[in-house]
Structure 1
Amino acid sequence: MSYVNNVRMFVRVYELGSMSAAARDQRTSPAVASSRIAELEKHLGVRLFNRTTRALNPTEHGRLFYDGARGILESIDAAEGAVMEAAQSPRGTLFVAAPLGLGRRIIAPELPRFRETYPEIDVRLRLSDRVVDVTGEGLDLAFHLGPLADSDLKVRMIADCPRVLVASPDYIALRGMPKNGAALVRDRHDCLNLRFPGASEFQWTLRTVDGPKRFEIAGPFECDDGDVLTDWALAGTGIVLKPEFEVAEHLASGALVPVATATPPYPTQLACLSPSRRHRDPKVQVFAEHMVEVCRRGVRRAS
């Protein structure tokens, strides 16, 4: 299995762009990761990466080798999956991504229970509010909040997630209660925005008597972590647009209150995505089955 392990390490170094990140991902040291890449390069007789003190970039040979290497690993995983399915004992490592709020509140707390049922499955959970490249980042499964782009991914719809515009009572006392989206713009309310590389301009699409309407909003702060936006709203800094399940406890306690209720936001879709060649893997199937139901319950409780 040493050659397969070397190939697996190469694929993770290529996808993560870092020897140390790939080493952490594979639960080993950077020295071992570097040694595995060196062994693979020696076996192939070519350099797979150009290394400098600041960057690690694949060579042309590395880019050529990557697609075939990933195909090799997918074939091995599929073969192992077929055997495990026959033995009714899913095992292996799952690479899973989820938005921060969903991951922290619903998925991560459920992982110990999942592990009790499937002790042979390890889970590497990546949390981020950016849109992930499921195939390019070597993920087995990703949970996605928001509109879905056309792709060849296997899509499983989980639920429509109600969303709400909220602010703290202190903010309302200082700035007044906006009744609708027009008031947000007219009165120049401070709106807190989720922002990450590649994100669109700041517009909130709200439900009006004339149908959907986009409101160009602005505010003093932006962040790529949705929970930071919630913390800012709790501190009285501004108004934030959130999935209801992420702020349910604060709404219940009164720490946050709904605003612009005459023009509420539309629900957003929660879906589970997996590469078309991976969704039949037994470990992917059992994890998806388990977490899809957990997510549905979590979203419904907040509604």
Structure 2
Amino acid sequence: MDQLFTLRTFVAVARQGSFSGAARRLRISPSVATRAIAQLEERLGLALLTRTTRSVRLTERGQVYLESCQRLLEDLDESERRVRGENAEPRGELSLSAPIVFGRLHVLPLVQKLLAAHPGLSVRLHLSDRNQHLVDEGIDAAVRLGDLKDSGLIALKVGTVRRVLVASPQYVKRKGAPKSPDELIRHELIAFENLDTTNEWRFGEKEKPVRVQPRLILNSADAAIAAAERGIGIARTLSYQVMDAVLAGRLVLLLGSFAPPPVPVSVIYPGRRSASANVGAFVRTVRSHFEEHPLQPVEAWRPSKREPPTK
């Protein structure tokens, strides 16, 4: 079996934590992945992975070997990018990552444009609300919401969004609309755990955080929005997630005058990917797309941004 293939298989198994996950990523059968690792371990004369019925983990020597393999494969890919040149036609696979709802609403249209413009390109788009480590997980570029930590990554800011509170008109008619954040303690609240990592909801810079006790906690933004539309309570979401529902009248905005500062939306990629024709095509498409279709601030939404009357 080709040595380069076995190295890529080993890295994929280590990153995915499973043979089946690596097989799906490489588009091979689990048996082929298992055989590749077995041959690699036999050639090296040591165990790289410990296997249980539930997980696959690196041995101490496996961790050392993984770091070396990742550098080797990255150097090889970088060499190919430099030989092809920055203006080469994109081809092969581009691996992207984005938050689930943002990816569905805003990244998929970008992918559609890329695929239409570059017949030799394929895209692997991983939608997850967990921020993934780009280099360790083999991701070429990702969309991030929020302030970015200082790192060696290149960032392109494409807009901003806001944290907003929404509820259905039926809920507001039944329970009334809060006039201030302090009044939230008397309401039924819905939390999206990836956005609300603590039980404190923060508002404007002059407002104290409000300690909340949600009646419903969900790990899906779509489910939290659906629960709010059903009248279960008040949900805190990001503005782009609920714009269509607000404009359609299924949800109304609450406490808009107490909104916290905007959240930046950025596309990030490792500096070593800057010479990649695939990443370059993606970045150019992102820039032109958001210039033509900017993220709409809440203040620009129509109909009116006025809050519903209280009881």
Summarize the Cα distance change of 1:109–1:168 in structure 2 as closer, same or farther, 3 Å threshold: same
The CA deviation string for residues 139-196 of structure 1, in whole angstroms up to 9 with x for no partner, is 21111111222322222222122342111011112211112212213x2x22221215
* TM-score normalised per structure 2: 0.88
Alignment partner, residue 190 of structure 2: 192
Report SS of the residue matched to 2:265.
Answer: strand
Q: 1:271 and 2:266 equivalent?
A: yes
1:131-210 to 2 correspondences below 5 Å = 131-185=131-185, 187=186, 189-196=187-194, 200-207=197-204
Write out aligned runs for 1:16-31 (5 A): 16-31=16-31
Q: In the TM superposition, what is the alpha-carbon distance from 1:214 to its structure 2 partner?
A: 1.8
Amino acid at match of 1:288: V
TM-aligned CA deviation for residue 289 of structure 1: 2.1
Give the corresponding residue for 1:247. 242
Matched, 1:223 2:222: no
Give the corresponding residue for 1:59: 59
Distance 1:86 1:276 in 2: 14
CA distance in 2, matches of 1:264, 1:247: 15
How many Å apart are 1:109 and its aligned residue? Answer: 3.5
Q: CA deviation at 1:278?
A: 2.2
**Percent of counterpart pairs with the same letter?**
31
> Distance in 2 between the 1:70 and 1:143 partners?
23
Q: Shift of residue 66 of structure 1? A: 0.6
**For residues 219-272 of structure 1, what are the alpha-carbon distances to aligned partners after superposition, in whole Å with 9 as ceiling and x for unaligned?**
111122211111111111111222222211111111000112331233111011
Q: CA offset at residue 86 of structure 1?
A: 5.8
Question: Residues 159 and 32 of structure 1: is their aligned pair in 2 closer, same or farther, counting only changes over 3 Å?
Answer: same
- Of residues 285, 288, 293, the one that matches 1:290 is 285
Alignment of 1:30-49 (within 5 A): 30-49=30-49
Query: Distance in 2 between the 1:264 and 1:2 partners?
Result: 57
Contact 1:11/1:69, CA 8 A, preserved across alignment: yes
Tell me what 2:68 maps to.
Answer: 68
Q: Is contact 1:94–1:124 with CA below 8 Å preserved after alignment?
A: yes
Q: Given that residues 179 and 262 in structure 1 are in contact (C-alpha distance below 8 angstroms), is that contact kept between their aligned partners in structure 2?
A: no
Deviations 1:74-107 (A, max 9, x none): 1111111123326621222222110011101111
CA-to-partner distance for each residue in 1:40-75, whole Å, 9 max, x for gaps? 222222221111222211112210111110111111
2:151 alignment partner AA: S
| Unmatched tracts of structure 2, length 5 or more | 301-311
Calculate the TM-score normalised by the size of structure 1.
0.91
In the TM superposition, what is the alpha-carbon distance from 1:13 to its structure 2 partner? 0.8
Partner Cα distance (1:112, 1:159) in 2: 20
Root-mean-square deviation over aligned CA pairs: 2.2
Change (3 A) 1:156 1:263: same
How much has 1:293 moved relative to structure 2?
3.8
Q: Which amino acid aligns with 1:16?
A: Q
Whole-angstrom CA distance in 1 between matches of 2:158 and 2:235 = 24
**Alignment check: 8 A CA contact 2:49 2:57 kept:** yes
